[in-house]
Structure 1
């Protein structure tokens, strides 16, 4: 971790929440907390398992991590 009052620790989460708002929220009103919770859980599952990223060689984070760990054990 960095020293106190440095924003580098928050950069990853701020990026994720920015993407969450950008990709998930379409300006629609949500009815209840339970609905919001289900939508966010669904998005997180999509983000980790289905969403491809160019930085990860066109794979989802879970697939990339699985492949990297398999290569490391060989």
Structure 2
């Protein structure tokens, strides 16, 4: 988990995570002492603030909803191997090309670029 977060920080050239919300849908991770200590050390905000709060989960659940609907339309699955090969392609499409109304019709990557330039 720590390696993944540090890799994401490096890829985005982030040194300050004080405004970053990191989501885990894994209850065992979220409840772990190590996860909460890591959030304090690195300064990120854990997304699930309290039990059964659907608003904490909304963004990632929205992504998974899109994944379930769009993935099969964009990438016809022939096998598990094909699924494993195409999932990263969908993630790239979603992040870099798919415009979203809630982001001013920008892709998530374009929105983040604009946000960090203005911050």
TM-score range, shorter chain: 0.7 to 0.9
Separation in structure 2 between the aligned mates of residue 46 and residue 8 of structure 1, nearest angstrom: 25
1:43 and 2:90 are equivalent in the alignment: yes
Long gaps (5+) in structure 1: none
With normalisation by structure 2, the TM-score equals 0.50
Unaligned runs of 5+ residues in structure 2 are 1-47
Q: CA deviation at 1:29?
A: 7.2
Q: Distance in 1 between matches of 2:112 and 2:95?
A: 10
- Residue 32 of structure 1, CA deviation: 3.1
Using the TM superposition, give the Cα deviation of residue 63 of structure 1 relative to its aligned residue in structure 2, in angstroms.
0.7
How many residues align? The count is 71
Q: TM-score, normalised by structure 1?
A: 0.75
Aligned alpha-carbon RMSD (Å): 2.1
State which of 58, 62, 73 in structure 2 corresponds to 1:11: 58
Structure 1 residues 67 and 4 mapped into 2: Cα distance closer, same or farther (>3 Å)? same
